[in-house]
A and B are shown apart, each in its own frame.
Chain A
Amino acid sequence: MTAVEHRPANPAATSADRPIGFGRIQRKEDPRFVRGKGRYVDDIVLPGMLHGAILRSPVAHARLVSVDTTEALAHPKVHAVITGRDLEGLNLAWAPTLSADVQAVLATDKVRFQGQEVAFVVAEDRYAARDALELIDVEYEELPPVIDARRALDPGAPVIRDDLAGRTDNHVFDWEAGDAAETDAVFAAAEVVVAQEVVYPRVHPAPMETCGALADYDPVDGTLTLYETTQAPHAHRTLFAMVAGIPEHKIRVISPDIGGGFGNKVGIYPGYILAVVGSIVTGRPVKWMEDRSENLMSTSFARDYIMRGEIAATREGRILAVRTHVLADHGAFNATAQPTKYPAGFFSIFTGSYDLQAAHCAVTGVYTNKAPGGVAYACSFRVTEAVYLVERMVDVLAAELGMDPAELRLRNFIRPEQFPYRNKTGWEYDSGDYEPAMRKALEMAGYDELRREQAEKRARGELMGIGVSFFTETVGAGPRKHMDILGLGMNDGAEVRVHPTGKAVVRLSVQTQGQGHETTFAQILAEELGIPPEDIDVVHGDTDRTPFGLGTYGSRSTPVSGGAVALAARKVRDKARAIAAAMLETRPEDLEWEKGRWYVQGDPSAGRTIAEIALGAHGTVALPEGVDGNLDAEVTYDPPNLTFPFGAYVCVVDVDRGTGKVRVRRFVAVDDCGTRINPMIIEGQVHGGLADGVGMALMEFIGFDEQGNCLGGSFMDYLIPTAMEVPDWETGHTVTPSPHHPIGAKGIGESATVGSPPAVVNAVVDALAPLGVRHMDMPCTPARVWAAMQGRATPPI
């Protein structure tokens, strides 16, 4: 336990005794959101603004024979119609993806997925732009599509990426981690080996705000102001400079309020580039805002991993090794956002929370005629898939051994004294204490009592299931020597200024999409400097006003930018000490810090507050040698390692035997994200993630028919959970700080999304166990559960 645990619990937040630092306070940003005063990209209106709309391919795979725009151009309200041919002339028809592939901005040779961008209309208003799309005449010559990833590498499969020189197949990459020979040897000698194919189907982040951009190019001075729905404004600016050839200092990217990201707003979509081209061509600001179907059909999906897992153990339940082969469907362009050296992201964390003798994974990525993407949805760079695999495999093993799944986990955890723990695929887990978290979750759930209730219900023929999962994430990418995206090191900056009156501003390179940065980061600064959070302004989402950094995704804001803020604050504190010493006419070494104030050792009444020091710094105090007249500091933080949040989840479900309908009755989540900055925000992040997880486990799924038609293109077809599908969340926590992070925080943004799907699916499978079911794949819809009950469970893809 650390000092953090002993901080007094702070009551919520409206009274005068609000914590100055960590604790439960209401979110500073919420007044504008609850009053409808948020300002999103689509709220921004510029004088003379035009509207863009994208014509999209109705078919999954076809040669583009011709695109006739004559009639559309004749529409009285249309200002421009842009085609792939036009972009070719500007050398902009193809743009680099975040994974060193290229993606068509507008199709030139072929269309490669249903919904691909074919032409762009710029018109007076959104209605006219949409009307004019119907006036464009496109001739397609249809080609056989590749839809089933399992068939993508068949000899003779149609080659999707014939734009890439020398391509004769649909192979994207092979990647492996761990020691194959060592793992095979452990498997060969093991008493028990179980295998299971586990599919994590394609889902979508579906943020409430869809993606869009408003580009304003000034032809006189050559500056581009670009309002964008982006989680990574600085990275976007740099990439725009590289792609569009506009000098970086002439580009300003503004990411205003963002209505949810979940990874959906990491990449640069063709629509963003087209808004810029539209503005350059027409000389007027151009807004493009996609609709719901465009968002679901064409922007970054998540998952789509077909995983064949194997687990080896002793009869007594000692887990020895895990190995897996993964087929990864990347869609038509490889547009995932992974650090360069990690084409399958951090999937190699699939060893989970267990002390294994060996582990190995091999991942094969393939192209199919589906929308590109793969970064998205609280993905933690494929940690979600990894955790799902291992947590399902442990349950399959428990069933094979006839052991209680909670007990099996407890027996195999990495023990506290083994940290920092190096796993078999090369990660160094920074800290962990798994058993107390697990025991706490079981106790909160009343696990033994639930098992008794289940036994009674089973005797009556009723189906009740209890699912357990325990996850370890690897988040907070990352150390620049290992991790970059397109050559940009995965570091983030923070800039702190204390104004003369003691109020402060902190400028961040990361960008909130709802996570509460304006509160959390103010609290970090408050904790370090003793300035009340309400006196601290948090600036983010504007490249002109913030330092460089890679942005918010993969639970990296607190691990990376949080570290930067703490270190910048400490620089300010050190500087304040020197100035306070000058003001008190003593030596810096003779001063002691208490939150918000430096005072003379042995004479607590002689001291200066941060506000007094700030005034002194900007005033007339004779400054010591080498100290300049401000209280400002700037840090770009290069984390020494990733952080490893963990948690224990228990889910209870009831299944209607006659209809297959699953009801999630209870959900207990015990999370350990290290130091807890604002418990209320942590709980909010956990609640949201759990709802995500229940959604994926029970209903979310983007399917395709054999022709490649997307079957999840609206909220009538792509179901996301509502308040009615989720129970009251029961949350708890333990605190195991990260030893290497400046404030010991590990990140919480994705924990619940990662940890909850296996708990729900494990519960459903547990409910069906009396019928002989050992596995079923998500989504556990009534029809699919009923099929599993008949012994006919099928993968969704």
Chain B
Amino acid sequence: MQVPAPFEYARATSVADALELLERHGPEARVLAGGHSLLPMMKLRLARPDWLIDLGDLAELRHLIRDGDWLRVGALTTHADLLASAQVGRLLPIVHDAERVIADPVVRNRGTIGGSLGQADPAEDLSTVCDVLRARVVITGRAGERVIGMEEFHRGPYETACEQHELITEVRFPVRPRSGSAYEKVERRVGDWAVAAAGAALVLADDGTIADASIGLTALGLSGLATDAAAVLLGTHPSEEVFAEAGRLAAAASSPVEDQRGPVDYKRHLAEELTRRVLRSAAERAGAGALTAVQGG
């Protein structure tokens, strides 16, 4: 049994209470959501908070609400909640694609969207999904709430705009007509973190051309979206040729590092291959007709 260093524990009763506890216990206090990132790090003694503020009772942060053109997801919504929601599957298919390949059912039952974004691991799938869907994050502090875009939220590996004394309380996804999205990941084994993954979302104009596009990569050393790759798609009809070009540009934008999961050339190859694949399914889901077939993966 791996055992953490000593720590104190408090259970928050409300968002306000959690914020107060954070302030009272100072900079070495950390909030605990599903615990599936934080507890393993504590057991390995890579994280040593003095205080754990458990958010587990905050039912107010566990919701999924359609609100006009937005889908509002409470920070404590679990992977399993997202996967169980038919509405999420219909409106944001990329979320279900990703959730099916995040960890395993045990982890998905407890791990939360707020914890995933809060952890900001470079191989974490939901960050890419949120990037691609241009989600907005609600951060709550003692002074009130602010709503920021992912580009502002993300500050690099394991770093976000959510300060130590603040909470991520909600993630808001825009719901857009004639849109389609998809995610694909290569893993060494079910439940493993990504060797590499890609996500894409497309919005089609009435004439069937691509009106908006976003492409994100996971574990491939790209922060934010692959904007050059998305740019070549705008105004074009979905086709294998233009997706191949976007794939090449996404690969060029990636800067993977070699590790046990694979060498750089392979990962760069995956950036291209997976970008093409997710663009294909995103286009199909957005209602584009059959693509002109091109030989290859």
Contact = CB atoms under 8 A, between A and B. Distances in A.
Contacts of A783: 195, 261-263, 266
Given A127-B6, A717-B260, A699 B189 contact: yes
A289 interface: yes
Given A658-B273, A783-B195, A787-B266, A292 B2 contact: yes
A722 interface: yes
B266 A131 contact: no
Given A699-B188, A719-B189, A725-B189, A782 B262 contact: yes
Contacts of A90: none
Contacts of A711: 260
Contacts of A699: 188-189
B297 interface: yes
B192 interface: yes
B186 A661 contact: yes
A781 B188 contact: yes
A308 interface: no
Contact of B188 (A127, A719, A786): A719
Given A659-B270, A782-B262, A786-B269, A131 B189 contact: no
A783 B219 CA distance: 14
Interface in A278-292: 289, 291-292
Contacts of A289: 1
A716 B121 CA distance: 14
Interface in B50-106: 104
Contacts of B44: 293, 714
B289 interface: no
Interface residues of A, number: 32
B5 interface: yes
A656 B297 CA distance: 8
A629 interface: no
Contact of A659 (B2, B5, B186, B295): B186
A127 B3 contact: yes
A171 interface: no
A722 B188 contact: no
B277 interface: yes
B173 interface: no
Interface string A690-714: 0000000011000100000001001
A699 to B, nearest CB: 6
Contacts of A724: 189-191
B260 A703 contact: yes
B190 A131 contact: no
A722 B261 contact: no
Name which of B5, B188, B270, B277 has the most chain A CB atoms within 10 A of its CB.
B188
A782 B186 contact: yes
B273 A781 contact: no
Contacts of B1: 126, 289, 291
Contacts of B188: 699, 719, 781-782
Interface in B188-205: 188-193, 195
Interface in B220-267: 260-263, 266
Name which of B3, B5, B297 has the most chain A CB atoms within 10 A of its CB.
B3
Instruction: Classify chain B: how many residues form its interface, as a range.
Output: 20 to 34
Given A659-B273, A722-B191, A724-B190, A126 B263 contact: no
B296 interface: yes
A480 interface: no
B190 A725 contact: yes
A781 B6 contact: no
B260 A721 contact: no
B51 to A, nearest CB: 17
B2 A291 contact: yes
Given A658-B277, A658-B296, A703-B260, A293 B190 contact: no
A131 to B, nearest CB: 7
A130 interface: yes
Interface string B259-297: 011110010011001100100000000000000000111
A515 B293 CA distance: 53
Contacts of A782: 186, 188, 195, 262, 266
A783 B269 CA distance: 10
A656 B270 CA distance: 12
Contacts of A703: 260
Nearest to A723: B190
Given A659-B273, A719-B188, A130 B3 contact: yes
Contact of B190 (A291, A461, A717, A722): A722
Contacts of B260: 703, 711, 717
Contacts of B5: 131
A787 B273 CA distance: 15
Interface in B175-189: 186, 188-189
B262 A781 contact: yes
A657 interface: yes
A459 to B, nearest CB: 13
Contact of A787 (B2, B190, B191, B263): B263
Interface string B2-18: 11011000000000000
Contacts of A659: 186, 270, 273-274, 297
B174 to A, nearest CB: 31
Interface string A438-468: 0000000000000000000000010000000
B200 to A, nearest CB: 16
Nearest to B192: A719
A781 to B, nearest CB: 5
A719 B195 CA distance: 13
A289 B1 CA distance: 7
Contacts of A722: 104, 189-191
Name which of A126, A658, A661 has the most chain B CB atoms within 10 A of its CB.
A658
A101 to B, nearest CB: 31
A695 to B, nearest CB: 9
B272 to A, nearest CB: 9
A657 B3 contact: no
Nearest to B43: A291
Contacts of A127: 3, 6
A168 to B, nearest CB: 35
Contacts of A787: 263, 266
Nearest to A720: B189
Contact of B266 (A291, A717, A786): A786
Contacts of B2: 291-293
A703 B192 CA distance: 17
Contacts of B186: 659, 661, 782
B296 to A, nearest CB: 7
Contact of A721 (B189, B263, B295): B189
A716 B43 CA distance: 14
Name which of B6, B193, B269 has the most chain A CB atoms within 10 A of its CB.
B269
Contacts of B273: 658-659
Contacts of A126: 1, 3
B279 to A, nearest CB: 14
Interface in A181-208: none
Nearest to B295: A461
Name which of A292, A293, A781 has the most chain B CB atoms within 10 A of its CB.
A781
Nearest to B185: A659
Interface string A215-230: 0000000000000000
Interface string A340-368: 00000000000000000000000000000
Q: Which 9 A-B pairs have the closest CB atoms?
A: A658-B297, A783-B262, A724-B190, A658-B273, A291-B2, A783-B266, A719-B189, A130-B3, A659-B186
Given A658-B273, A719-B189, 15 more contacts: A127-B6, A291-B2, A292-B2, A293-B44, A461-B295, A658-B277, A659-B274, A661-B186, A711-B260, A722-B189, A781-B262, A783-B261, A786-B262, A786-B266, A787-B266
15 contacts: A127-B3, A130-B3, A461-B295, A659-B270, A659-B273, A698-B189, A703-B260, A721-B189, A722-B191, A724-B191, A725-B189, A725-B190, A781-B188, A783-B261, A786-B266
Interface of B: 1-3, 5-6, 44, 104, 186, 188-193, 195, 260-263, 266, 269-270, 273-274, 277, 295-297
